[in-house]
Structure 1
């Protein structure tokens, strides 16, 4: 009885104490919009909560007294509020201001959870839609190249750009769409990224190994393309219509986007069409085989609840793109076209007529690339932790029609199916440490269909990796890093190719077929990778910081590097792989100094990258030094493997004088050197093999931009800009067997104007952008332009070899919101 009475007394006392406690609740907004994930902390108490999707918070069991509440969140200025709390519950709302400094910009790529740019030691660049709209672009990668120093692209005409980061590309750069890794046969030279450029609102670029988070194929970095997400008034249908016309190749682009919010649900849909005829330059005229037609369709639905959120999306990409081969008449240098399959004579092909060069019709020799994407991203909140799940399915269908006598017969026809999975658990903070456990990978299968050329076997791939990532802030120092282990299995069965007796073309056959060629013997292998990173950011002050990072990356050989043995008709190359290749590993050191001052933003980024088992392409020659020709009219390349080193720097100096707020001067420099460290090859071939292929030259970009600070009539903050891009000679190239040749430097000058037009009531009517690229119609060849090497003659009457880049191009773009 004594213990029962004591227990009742204790419960009564606790209830009395709790009855004397009070609570604080409220809503956090910014620009009249609710803000999620804002931390509300009471100083002196070990109590903090985060706002939900409606911006609401509540803190219970507080005794009466004086308190200081701190509202803080990524991308917003911290706000402190002093209060006196009585026994009565208090309602306290807060209105936060967005951070103006780019250092406080929020990134999600390569950092596992939303992080301020200043806190990440990994070099990350952010490109907004506004910046992309103010340039002439024929695809999204081209927009990123113009906006991010250190990013370049290998191109095959205006519709094909494969991103390179600091001299490394192909499968070494991992491209993501809304966090889902893009799987579309990246091994191909001659097709680009299957993404609607008008549907992307932001791009985040990680420069350096990101294998820790993503596994294989992020050895050079990551480009995450983030689609538009609505954030406006409930119950109203919103949208935008974009139209774009470019004069050089007559490109016409139109895109319609719609978005709707109803309570907890957000819906989006977008449809885009782009079409263009052949582009032109002063040397070649209209370049035959560079027309394209592209269609895009995307839709998404997202629901936000107290438990988290779930987003489901679907995209469809369809691209008809001509295949250039560069064949010409030897005297007039006019382009010719192939009309025969058997008995084709390069010197007797008919000349392409002028009306064909100007036509929007796609010629019979073309690629048809289709890409389907369906995925779900969900987050489940558990108090101070959360689980993030991404499941995605993709299908890439690639046909290359290269038979003029049978135009409906595809030379290459492959279907790639991929199932992606990604699970990340953000653990509760412990001793100020934010940590994440993750597991991700993919299941993939590639199959040839009704084709005549088989450059790669039908293969199956399974990829899995697990990682641990942690970060901690200690005063002025932010530290982050982690470790990862990967396993990739790739295998294929015996693959035979024979000749169809009726058509004379190749076809897939069984081993008993008469004259069957054993093209791909059975193969099965596991690749393992250990990767990780460690870095720190030292915040000298709010405006000045130093970043240092060291990372080990991993990449398993891709299918062409280990399995190729045949003609890729779209690339006009016969690829030969090596089944004994080992995975690539690199160790990269990064050092960055960043300052956001009153009148200038300055950044200096230095890097050094040592690579083991680096894989690259090299032309194949015989014992006499003559090119090996396996398929007439097509080059033969064999993959090689060696050590390599890349080092360089990027410098950005953006001036914005506080006394001249209308003026901005944006300047950047990017420099990279790629060295081949194959000692045996260097001893035998000397300087011809000293450098790596596809290394961009020194480049400098300068821009002067004037923006009105007040409306001028109906024009709201109109701008005028003039910019120049300067590329040095590239005399550091892989010259062995004429794989690459010297590329002369060049300068390009561009100009643009634009503005938002508003009605008298202040309503936005539309945005207009007018841009002229290559104002002086400069004739030039980029060393990263594959068309530079599309040449069939040792000499030509005008002394010019290969195909030149695009000439002067004027772009008119209008974006009308509604």
Structure 2
């Protein structure tokens, strides 16, 4: 079997496939051509850009049922289903509307095959590049949070955002880059996702257990960040140049993207650079040590033929990210900086940070450097009437935290994580309408400390594998889907010793059996295993009304910090202690959704309930007298615990486009989640303060009114004006034990934006302009999931405002020049 598979992969030209050609014209609702619209087949990865008259041609399309997605700046995406016969040239007329109606979009994340959002029993949401471009974002996760209800982020400054889905995050949310799982020490608090936000064409989010396809770490859902495919005319080099400025932190961003395709060959390249200084708000002034400098390079080369496609990706990410610690003068509240270490360091007598330092783009001595490299290949082959999908990838994440002011070149934390990933899937030919998909995926990891002085976790090895079977059966208006998966994970490490290094004065990794030293991490070897399952249905009651429900069992193995921690995380100012006896988490989640769709209205309500067995969380460690344990002075001590947990809530959205006012669109959404400890024993011992789970977002709503001018103003087209209100209610349901969290006041932020596209005399886009003003009234607020809220060294602040506040008013200007 292996030889046969290798033969297919090495000699795809020997495979025979049944193909045809798709052609057509993309027009707006007034029947005018939409020049340079994008037309794509998401399931096969094929795409093309229409010409100046909106005409497009897609050759070598596999025969059978196909779904096309057309999109253009200033218009909503539109999906068209068609049946293509062998050798046929099928003409497909596509019409784009000027406002959003997203329920018919085609997605491929978290489901066995391409499917419409409203036909998926598992809730799925998407965000297009156009919607990302409208906002002034500091990273792609923040962009997704603005546009997808139920998605939130734990932040540590402007460029560090970790996705949470329905109150669960870290290793419970799996982040993918074009289908490749992102492995970059994601258990840590103080660094984000190592992806070029300028290169992301589309974000797809699965809200709920997606363990069937991906195994452990997808128990809460999946965030898939999809880069753009080459879409220029055949034989022509196309691309775009982008520049951006944001006033609050002086962010300057540039990006250059190129793409080319001819006769099935496709290639693309993008280079992006972003530079920012300390951000500003009216309570704290400029927040010291929140700047960053980020460089990303992305390249792709591949072929798309009648036998299938194969693409190779290479990305390089390099980020110098400052680490705020929140120290400041007790009276003036001016920020201070550390200049000495250990007993010589008195937080109350640190020197003040100067205004020049706060305004400077220079990276401070206390910072981290994160480098992430990935190479992977995605291959799709039409085989035996079905489709074989193969993904192979290797990535390395190098993370250094420089936290020694007396030795600035000496990293305190230095970890190198190497991950090898595979994913093999086969979609069998339909049998009496039954769609069957089966596969196997997994990874191998090696995590090693480099030249470090702090060792919060051991060096470890990890092997992970799982197989799955997915079924989908349309029965007229009813569609059933379900599946089963088994996973196994082996985690091991040897005795790990730490001893003082006389040459440097710091601790260092020591050799095995170091005399007189006990291992900081005794040897460990444990296998975890679990079964995931799902059963769901969607019912198209009418052309407008769709009902859906899903029941899923998710599985997650404990991550390394949860079982192996025994040290200080300098960036978090916390000593973490693991628990070697942990069992895997298992969750039972129920989803029920009602969706309404018509040309002028989209509405949806999603209700969910999630019960998690063996839920892992952090609790402050107390001694026998009930007092906090202090292992490292100036740092709190937490140990991971297990309990039962219950999360429930809803998401609702309403998108209107009045028929009498086709230029106006109004979109609004709301999301709420309640997370509670369900272990009666824990509540009896620790009281009401332990009732709620940590890091649960408050009730959040967002509303936007957008006016898009229907007519062309000279050489300007797609001109829009928008107003947004983003609000969070007061959060009183928080993890109050040991003052881990506190109540957070509610707030509402007003945003205003406008944009337009300048075209040439023949109607070709010359430049796109986006202007966005966030927090127009410069409101002082703290988001509940902002970790900087708790960066406070004093019991009381003179101004009554403890911790660090979120950014104030921000004016963003972005210019994109396609060519």
- TM-score of the two chains, using structure 1 as the length reference: 0.91
CA distance in 2, matches of 1:693, 1:638: 14
- How far residue 74 of structure 1 moved from its aligned partner, in angstroms, is 5.6
Aligned pair count reads 766
What residue in structure 1 maps to residue 156 of structure 2?
156
What residue in structure 1 maps to residue 755 of structure 2?
754
Cα offsets for 1:321-353 (capped at 9, x unmatched):
111110111111111100012311111111111
1:97 aligned onto 2:97: no
1:728 aligned onto 2:729: yes
What residue in structure 2 maps to residue 363 of structure 1?
364
SS at match of 2:687: helix
CA distance in 2, matches of 1:460, 1:108: 31
CA distance in 1, matches of 2:686, 2:465: 40
SS at match of 1:787: helix
Cα offsets for 1:301-321 (capped at 9, x unmatched):
110122211000100110001
CA distance in 2, matches of 1:795, 1:305: 67
Moved more, 483-492 or 326-335: 326-335
Q: Is the 8 A contact 2:42 2:106 kept in 1?
A: no
Cα offsets for 1:490-549 (capped at 9, x unmatched):
000001111112322111113553552421000000000100111010001222200101
SS at match of 1:519: coil
Q: Is the 8 A contact 1:36 1:53 kept in 2?
A: no
CA gap 1:714/1:337 in 2 versus in 1, 3 angstroms: same
1:403 aligned onto 2:404: yes
SS at match of 2:782: coil
Matches of residues 486-501 of structure 1 in structure 2 within 5 Å?
486-501=487-502
CA distance in 1, matches of 2:58, 2:83: 22
Cα offsets for 1:394-427 (capped at 9, x unmatched):
0000000000000000000010000000000111
- How far residue 744 of structure 1 moved from its aligned partner, in angstroms, is 0.9
- How far residue 681 of structure 1 moved from its aligned partner, in angstroms, is 1.7
Q: Is the 8 A contact 1:462 1:489 kept in 2?
A: yes
Q: Is the 8 A contact 1:510 1:516 kept in 2?
A: no
1:574 aligned onto 2:575: yes
What residue in structure 2 maps to residue 5 of structure 1?
none
CA distance in 1, matches of 2:681, 2:670: 34
- How far residue 645 of structure 1 moved from its aligned partner, in angstroms, is 0.3
CA gap 1:72/1:428 in 2 versus in 1, 3 angstroms: closer
Moved more, 625-634 or 179-188: 625-634
CA gap 1:131/1:80 in 2 versus in 1, 3 angstroms: closer
What residue in structure 1 maps to residue 22 of structure 2?
28
Gaps of 5+ in 2: 1-17, 27-37, 45-56, 70-78
SS at match of 2:561: helix
Moved more, 192-201 or 323-332: 323-332
Moved more, 808-817 or 706-715: 706-715
SS at match of 1:602: strand
- How far residue 677 of structure 1 moved from its aligned partner, in angstroms, is 1.1
CA distance in 2, matches of 1:541, 1:806: 46
What residue in structure 2 maps to residue 599 of structure 1?
600
Q: Is the 8 A contact 2:170 2:187 kept in 1?
A: yes
- How far residue 57 of structure 1 moved from its aligned partner, in angstroms, is 7.5
Q: Is the 8 A contact 1:194 1:317 kept in 2?
A: yes
- How far residue 31 of structure 1 moved from its aligned partner, in angstroms, is 3.3
What residue in structure 1 maps to residue 165 of structure 2?
165
Aligned-residue CA RMSD (Å): 2.1
- How far residue 79 of structure 1 moved from its aligned partner, in angstroms, is 6.0
CA gap 1:490/1:355 in 2 versus in 1, 3 angstroms: same
SS at match of 2:520: strand
CA distance in 1, matches of 2:688, 2:642: 18
CA distance in 2, matches of 1:37, 1:253: 29
1:54 aligned onto 2:48: no
CA gap 1:619/1:78 in 2 versus in 1, 3 angstroms: closer
CA gap 1:623/1:304 in 2 versus in 1, 3 angstroms: same
Q: Is the 8 A contact 2:39 2:68 kept in 1?
A: no
CA distance in 2, matches of 1:225, 1:205: 9
CA distance in 1, matches of 2:528, 2:19: 54
What residue in structure 1 maps to residue 195 of structure 2?
195
What residue in structure 1 maps to residue 710 of structure 2?
709
CA distance in 1, matches of 2:753, 2:61: 44
Moved more, 97-106 or 477-486: 97-106
What residue in structure 1 maps to residue 8 of structure 2?
none
SS at match of 2:130: helix
SS at match of 2:562: helix
Q: Is the 8 A contact 2:67 2:82 kept in 1?
A: no
CA gap 1:306/1:79 in 2 versus in 1, 3 angstroms: closer
Cα offsets for 1:358-386 (capped at 9, x unmatched):
11000111000000000000011124212
1:320 aligned onto 2:320: yes
What residue in structure 1 maps to residue 549 of structure 2?
548
Moved more, 629-638 or 417-426: 629-638
1:444 aligned onto 2:445: yes
- How far residue 108 of structure 1 moved from its aligned partner, in angstroms, is 0.7
CA distance in 1, matches of 2:88, 2:331: 84
Q: Rg bigger for which structure?
A: 1
CA distance in 2, matches of 1:598, 1:757: 29
CA gap 1:497/1:364 in 2 versus in 1, 3 angstroms: same
SS at match of 1:518: coil
Q: Is the 8 A contact 2:427 2:438 kept in 1?
A: yes
CA gap 1:383/1:74 in 2 versus in 1, 3 angstroms: farther
Cα offsets for 1:204-257 (capped at 9, x unmatched):
000000000000000100000000101231110001011110000000010000
Moved more, 508-517 or 429-438: 508-517
SS at match of 1:416: strand
1:527 aligned onto 2:528: yes
Q: Is the 8 A contact 1:28 1:35 kept in 2?
A: no
What residue in structure 1 maps to residue 48 of structure 2?
none
- How far residue 761 of structure 1 moved from its aligned partner, in angstroms, is 2.4
CA distance in 2, matches of 1:716, 1:118: 32
CA distance in 1, matches of 2:577, 2:303: 49
SS at match of 1:54: strand
Moved more, 115-124 or 479-488: 115-124
CA distance in 2, matches of 1:557, 1:80: 46
CA distance in 1, matches of 2:43, 2:426: 20
What residue in structure 1 maps to residue 422 of structure 2?
421
CA distance in 2, matches of 1:137, 1:34: 26
Matches of residues 238-249 of structure 1 in structure 2 within 5 Å?
238-249=238-249
CA distance in 2, matches of 1:808, 1:458: 44
Cα offsets for 1:433-476 (capped at 9, x unmatched):
11111000000000001100000000000000000001011100
SS at match of 2:235: coil
CA distance in 2, matches of 1:352, 1:419: 44
CA gap 1:517/1:289 in 2 versus in 1, 3 angstroms: farther
SS at match of 1:118: helix
What residue in structure 1 maps to residue 67 of structure 2?
73
Q: Is the 8 A contact 1:320 1:366 kept in 2?
A: yes
SS at match of 1:244: strand
- How far residue 53 of structure 1 moved from its aligned partner, in angstroms, is 6.8
Matches of residues 461-480 of structure 1 in structure 2 within 5 Å?
461-480=462-481
CA gap 1:406/1:56 in 2 versus in 1, 3 angstroms: closer
What residue in structure 2 maps to residue 8 of structure 1?
none
CA distance in 1, matches of 2:480, 2:232: 36
SS at match of 2:527: strand
What residue in structure 2 maps to residue 767 of structure 1?
768
CA distance in 2, matches of 1:57, 1:132: 31
CA gap 1:30/1:384 in 2 versus in 1, 3 angstroms: farther
Q: Is the 8 A contact 1:730 1:743 kept in 2?
A: yes
SS at match of 1:31: strand
Moved more, 497-506 or 783-792: 497-506
Gaps of 5+ in 1: 1-23, 40-51, 59-69, 84-88
SS at match of 1:290: coil
Matches of residues 660-739 of structure 1 in structure 2 within 5 Å?
660-739=661-740
CA gap 1:179/1:30 in 2 versus in 1, 3 angstroms: farther
CA gap 1:182/1:156 in 2 versus in 1, 3 angstroms: same
Cα offsets for 1:176-231 (capped at 9, x unmatched):
00000000011101100000000000000000000000000001000000001012
